[in-house]
Amino acid sequence: MTLAILLLAGLSPASTPPAAPALVPYAAPRFDEVQRAEAWPEYGNKPELKQCISRVRKARTEEMATKGAQQLEEIGAAAAPFLLKSLRSEKDSEARGRMEAVLDSITSPEHTRLLAEALDEDSDAPRRYAARRIAQLGDPGLRKRSEAFLAELMERAADKRARKPIEPVDLDLAAVLCLSTGSNAGLERVIQLASPEPWKTWGAAIERACEHAKAAGPGIGAELSTGLSKASSPGDRVVYLRLLTYSGSPDQVSPIVPLLDAEENQVKVAAINALRMIVDGDAPLKRLSTFDAIERAQRWKSRL
């Protein structure tokens, strides 16, 4: 699918019914064997590259933006450092969005260490992009770097005399980045982001980060499993279940099973969805009636 189409439309995964008759552990993808690049590729014709970026930035017509994006896709990762540099000075949010869409199309897990260099940027746009994209791609080798990044931002946020205040979104991005590396440094903040209102904005990013956290090791799932066992309110239980859905392992489901008998339908559904993903690797169901939830809960209890 071309970038132009992706810019105009979104895709949503379809849900699938539980069919496996036995307990089959779901193996999360691993990212610790990725060959990480140490330098961006070179591109000989820099004036042409800059002209392509200019087409995407200015986008006087839709065709102009599409052509520039397609040309940058053909150039590939060599265009990334120039796009990141252009983000520093771009004031127009739509132009930044177009450039970030191109960056998404030309960067991959091999580029995470190079993107991490932008975490040191003073400018918000390239720094925020790098944090978001690394969390999306996953790199457990950046755990210490992400923890230092979050600690630095928290220190600056606490400094009332800071020349440039740190916004909440910067701390949120850093917390999700830490999560994606398997670090619990920002987990309390991520738990807050998993509550109903912020989840509307952060849900997809946190789900992906949880997947990477699971691939990095059992630590995050174990901590969330413990948190779930101590949670007493329906709201808190749903939050922990949301996060465990993508970060938990089959040996961490014991606090989930009793919640199949929860009186609150939202808790029962969240427990069912968590088991679907953790045990079978099936996508959560977006809608489930009370009657259907009771039937599915009974089937899960008979399996477990």
261 part of a folded domain: yes
d(CA 260, CA 70): 49
Could you give the 3-state DSSP secondary structure of residue 197?
A: helix
Q: Which residue has the higher pLDDT, 111 or 27?
A: 111
Do the domain assignments include residue 211?
Answer: no
Domain presence at residue 70: yes
Q: How far is CA 1 from CA 6, 169, 277, in A?
A: 7, 31, 27
Residues written for the chain: 304
Question: Who has greater pLDDT, 14 or 153?
Answer: 153
Write out the DSSP string of 200-234.
HHHHHHHHHHHHHHHHH-SHHHHHHHHHHHH--SH
In a shared domain, residues 230 and 304:
yes
Q: Residue 10: pLDDT band by 50, 70, 90 thresholds?
A: very low
Q: Which domain holds residue 261?
A: 218-304
The answer to whether residues 123 and 59 belong to one domain is no
Under the banding of pLDDT at 50, 70 and 90, the label for residue 123 is very high
Quote the mean pLDDT of the chain.
90
The total domain count for the chain is 3
Domain end point (choices 137, 166, 198): 198
If asked whether residues 66 and 97 sit together in one domain, one would say yes
Lookup: tokens for 216:
């990095």
Q: Show which of 53, 78, 106 is a domain's final residue.
A: 106
Q: Are residues 115 and 100 in the same domain?
A: no
Amino acid identity for residue 247 in this structure: S
Give the separation between CA 244 and CA 277, rounded to whole angstroms.
9
Quick one: 156 and 117 in the same domain?
yes
With respect to residue 249, please indicate whether it lies within any of the assigned structural domains: yes
Q: Are residues 94 and 124 in the same domain?
A: no
Per-residue model confidence as pLDDT tens digits over 220-237: 999 999 999 999 999 999
Residue type, 264: E
Spatial CA neighbour of 17 closest among 274, 280, 301? 280
Is the CB of residue 108 less than 8 Å from the CB of residue 137?
yes
**Cα distance between residue 269 and residue 246, in whole Å:** 15
What's the CA gap between 3 and 6, in Å, rounded? 5
Do residue 121 and residue 194 come from a single domain?
A: yes
DSSP 3-state of 256: coil
Q: Quick one: pLDDT at residue 56?
A: 97
Q: Do 165 and 101 have their domain in common?
A: no
Of 18-27, 62-71, 83-92, 259-268, give the lowest mean pLDDT range.
Answer: 18-27
Q: Are residues 194 and 115 in the same domain?
A: yes
116 within a domain of the structure (yes/no): yes
Same domain as 97, residue 120: no
Q: Please report which residue ranges of 122-278 form alpha helices under DSSP H.
A: 124-137, 143-158, 168-180, 187-193, 196-216, 219-230, 234-247, 265-275
52 inside domain: yes
Query: 3-class SS at 38?
Result: coil
* Residue 174 belongs to domain with CATH number: 1.25.10
Does 143 fall in a domain?
yes
**187 with 179: CB under 8 angstroms?**
yes
Q: Which of 155, 170, 198 is the last residue in one of the domains?
A: 198
Cβ pair 86, 57 in contact under 8 A: yes
Which structure tokens are listed for 106? 């030309």
Output the CA torsion 67→119→207→167 (10° steps). Answer: -100
178 and 96 in a common domain: no
pLDDT at position 32 is 55
Question: Which residue matches tokens 């009332």?
Answer: 160
Give yes or no for a contact between 241 and 271, defined as CB atoms under 8 angstroms apart: yes
d(CA 231, CA 68): 51
Asked whether the predicted pLDDT for residue 112 surpasses 60, the reply is: yes
In-domain check, residue 6: no
Residue 157 sits in the same domain as residue 231: no
